[in-house]
Structure 1
């Protein structure tokens, strides 16, 4: 069921199914609700499953002109969705930049969450190779302006380990990815560089480490997001948990991915 929630500066399109405590899925990059179509139904028998288009993407429109995006503002959106739809602490899964948003929710509003699973957050500010990672993203942004979305995404993907994951995704996943190509300009011009400048609040996350399950894909081999998650886990005193597939394992292997997610949420 699709609906919209008015929040400061935007209208958030979201889809809800099932009954029970809230399980919120937060997408990253250019994604929208469709990225979780294969995983969400596995939880609708015991959760109120919520996915949404982040502000400025797909059907979540901005009230005014687009500008630089902030993780904290996107986390406020997630918080408002949880408060609007839930009656108690929620479980939250975030992928890629959506994982950065999930981490900010956990750091600032631990009272609102029961478990938070940040999957391959590009927290490059935590890595020793931050400057090299940022240089790749600057090249991707420049290539987008020069030659368009496909060229920009190629540079972005080659630098983050994402291309093989997209290539291996099934036909349904590829169709969904085509539907969200229109989000690329917003991503490159207003989100990508702004989001990776975010530094997670490690002291706050460390105080609430029991809420967190830092996650990486089994098939992701030392990519920048994996490096970041390892540093994050070490700094807050926990371990990384492996999930089926790679950076977008929920698209590659939705059944196995859902089973693993169910395990860590139990």
Structure 2
């Protein structure tokens, strides 16, 4: 699985050192997690990369939509697609602390910022 994750990361603009890749995706791993990843690469990833939201429906939605971007993920695929979504909605993206998975990396800081964003709306 390390080869698939390296290719995905490169295409997404995510840089990881070889030791980090090996720690995250190599060696002995939970068989269920590996099976889930195989399914994601084989059946789910492609569909998710071609899916496009209906911007008109989202703009008309009653709840306020906040497009969040991790401040440390600038230039990555998740950053670029989130900016495109925000533009199609006629709004500015909101920057959150951390990278694409800032809610996992620094959950307390992320949660504090999220509360601020929600309360401002």
TM-score by length of 1: 0.37
Give the aligned partner of residue 134 of structure 1. Answer: none
Structure 1 spans left out of the alignment, 5+ residues = 1-148, 168-173
Distance in 2 (CA, whole Å) between partners of 1:154 and 1:162 is 9
| Aligned Cα root-mean-square deviation (Å) | 2.1
Give the aligned partner of residue 140 of structure 1. Answer: none
Distance in 1 (CA, whole Å) between partners of 2:45 and 2:80 is 18
Q: CA deviation at 1:238?
A: 1.0
Q: CA deviation at 1:163?
A: 4.4
User: If each structure's strand is expressed as a fraction of its own residues, which one has the higher value?
Assistant: 1
Distance in 1 (CA, whole Å) between partners of 2:38 and 2:51 is 20
Give the aligned partner of residue 152 of structure 1. Answer: 4
Count how many residue pairs are aligned between Structure 1 and Structure 2: 108
The verdict on how the C-alpha distance between 1:187 and 1:246 changes in structure 2, with shifts beyond 3 A counting, is: same
The verdict on how the C-alpha distance between 1:201 and 1:223 changes in structure 2, with shifts beyond 3 A counting, is: same
Give the aligned partner of residue 188 of structure 1. Answer: 41
Give the aligned partner of residue 261 of structure 1. Answer: 114
8 A Cα contact 1:162 1:247, kept in partner: no
Tell me, what secondary structure is at the counterpart of 1:230? helix
Tell me, what secondary structure is at the counterpart of 1:216? strand
Give the aligned partner of residue 170 of structure 1. Answer: none
Match of 1:244 among 87, 94, 97: 97
8 A Cα contact 1:209 1:237, kept in partner: no
Distance in 1 (CA, whole Å) between partners of 2:62 and 2:51 is 19
8 A Cα contact 1:250 1:257, kept in partner: yes
User: If each structure's helix is expressed as a fraction of its own residues, which one has the higher value?
Assistant: 2
Q: Which moved more, 1:229-238 or 1:179-188?
A: 179-188
Q: How does 1:75-94 map to 2 (within 5 A)?
A: none
Distance in 2 (CA, whole Å) between partners of 1:216 and 1:183 is 26
Distance in 2 (CA, whole Å) between partners of 1:230 and 1:258 is 21
TM-score by length of 2: 0.78
Q: How does 1:11-160 map to 2 (within 5 A)?
A: 149-160=1-12
Structure 2 spans left out of the alignment, 5+ residues = none
The verdict on how the C-alpha distance between 1:261 and 1:181 changes in structure 2, with shifts beyond 3 A counting, is: farther
Give the aligned partner of residue 65 of structure 2. Answer: 212
